Amino acid sequence: MRLSWIGHASWRLEIGEAVILIDPWLENNPVFPQDKRDAALKGATHILITHGHFDHASEAVGIAKELGIPVAGIFDLMGVWEEQHGIETIGFNKGGTVDLAGVKVTMVNATHSSSMAGEDGMPVYAGHESGYMIEGEGRTIYFSGDTDIMADMEWMGDLHKPDIGILCVGGHFTMDPARAAYAAKRWFDFKTVICSHYRSFDFLFPDTAPLKALDAKLIEPEVMVPFEP
């Protein structure tokens, strides 16, 4: 298993035969070096989308067409993309599990919002926001997506028992480090915690001290520097 942070909330997960791009946002990502674009996309087998906001979903259709790979995500949005753009999609919903080249991906709840800009500039419905439990190579990753603390984390930790947490920690739009650390300590038993949705804009540079106090390895990733969790 090898992970690469593409910057902001975008990820490349190499697990077994699968290379999954989660919320790939490259072109306008303020911390992504454009000379790394080929490396970020190389060998990708699937795209996984957590919700419709521009910093998560704006490039998914274009990358899917470029690479000829399917996009997986909430049923509502996938149906629209398949009909309007002719791409292959895998639409499912919370509680559902799909197989992405041998990796089992279960959609779980998140608490956020999900919309896209309409033709008149007004936001339009983009299906519900979500997180994912990603199982492969004997490990389980909880990919939180954009979320705050929620009571659902109790059963999610108990049922899925993820040993890796890729958690949004930037604050402002999502949990900050203190809130993410509270959730991790109360409801999960992570061996590794990895920071996401942070260090991309001036107001998303939080103090990660609360996460360093957890009884888990903390990884504060560097952009496009692969690592094993």
| pLDDT, tens only, 154-213 | 999 999 999 999 999 999 999 999 999 999 999 999 999 999 999 999 999 999 999 999
**Residue 228 placed within a domain:** no
Is 204 inside a domain boundary? yes
Report yes or no on 111 lying in a domain.
Answer: yes
186 part of a folded domain: yes
Domain containing 109: what range?
2-219
Would you say residue 75 lies in a domain?
yes
Which CATH number goes with the domain that contains 48? 3.60.15.10
pLDDT confidence of 120, banded at 50, 70, 90? confident
DSSP output for the chain = -EEEEEEBTEEEEEETTEEEEES---TT-TT--GGGHHHHHTT--EEE----SHHHHTTHHHHHHHHT--EEEEHHHHHHHHHHH---EEEE-TT-EEEETTEEEEEEE--S--EEE-TTS-EEE----EEEEEEETTEEEEE--S----THHHHHHHHH--SEEEEE---SSS--HHHHHHHHHHH---SEEEEESBSSSGGG----HHHHTSSSEEE-PPBT--B--
Q: How many domains does the structure of the chain reveal?
A: 1
Model pTM score = 0.97
